[in-house]
Amino acid sequence: MRIPPSVARYIDYVSVERHYSEATSRAYESDLAAFTSFAAERGVDDVAEVDLELLRDWLWHSSQAGLGHATIARRSASVRGWSAWLARNGEIPVDTAARLRSPKTGRSLPHIVQRPQMDALLDGLAEKAAPGDPVALRDSALIELLYASGLRVSELCGLDVDDVDLDRLTVRVLGKGSKERVVPFGVPAHSALVDYLRQARPALLARTRTPVHAVFLGARGGRLNPRSVYNIVSKLLAGIPGGTAAGPHTLRHTAATHLLDGGADLRAVQELLGHASLGTTQIYTHVSMERLKESYRTAHPRA
């Protein structure tokens, strides 16, 4: 079998049968397209001709091209998944990539927004929303919910009105792997959502003739997309003095860290964030410990 059609079939498999997220499927498709081009440059067009040396050579060239450890690790995972699928389907006699090792990645601690800065940011948004501007009300509700719930940006954008339970203060989201979970949010987020849903959303919805069920709408009345949310959050975080954080995922990191700082159980935070592995959640305990050490070094006379 030629490499390009086998890659196309594999991407269909992970998207439709394995229910990988759209972002993960796109990343795998991009990785395997890069490998396909690399193999073609070396005269390899058939899956039977792909060997371990070629795969290692591709990862080495990826490293020399300046790609980061995480990207190379993902590329390794992409070809290993594809190779295993080919072997299971009898397209190759053995799993060629089974002995391909992923490079070890140095885990960096996530950037977060400190409590006083977060409070100031939310207070500023509420002040802007007070006169009733629809976009300002939307942004206030959007940031309050992201911080209150730790949602991924894709989960936030995928919310429909029926997914929000204002009585129970919960939202129903579809996370990675099409796994559904119910996430709570607090009173400030509830207040901002009520104001947005009752005052601003109808005004935004009136700007389009197409029925839209999304909670968060763009300026033209359609469903707000992840890129727009990223731009909104990035502009807000850029205004924080000395801040290095940017993007909606920063608010997810911040929510998790502040929960643990407040004494929340690690497994409860895992459930809230929708992490498949507790190990993924544990990185936030390191963030809290680093903050504790910094406070100790600053405050203790014999630190």
Question: Which amino acids are annotated catalytic?
Answer: 152, 176, 249, 252, 275, 284
Beta bridge partners of 183: 171
Beta bridge partners of 184: 170
Beta bridge partners of 8: none
Q: Answer for the pair 255, 284: CB distance below 8 angstroms, yes or no.
A: no
Q: Answer for the pair 45, 3: CB distance below 8 angstroms, yes or no.
A: yes
Sheet containing 180-184, strands listed edge to edge, beginning at the edge strand earlier in sequence: 164-165, 170-174, 180-184
Q: What are phi and psi of 51, to 5 degrees?
A: -120, 175
How far is the C-alpha of 221 from the C-alpha of 210, rounded, in Å?
9
DSSP 5-27: HHHHHHHHIIIIIS---HHHHHH
How far is the C-alpha of 255 from the C-alpha of 251, rounded, in Å?
6
Non-local CB neighbours of 156 within 8 Å, separated by 6+ positions: 142, 145, 146, 216, 229, 248
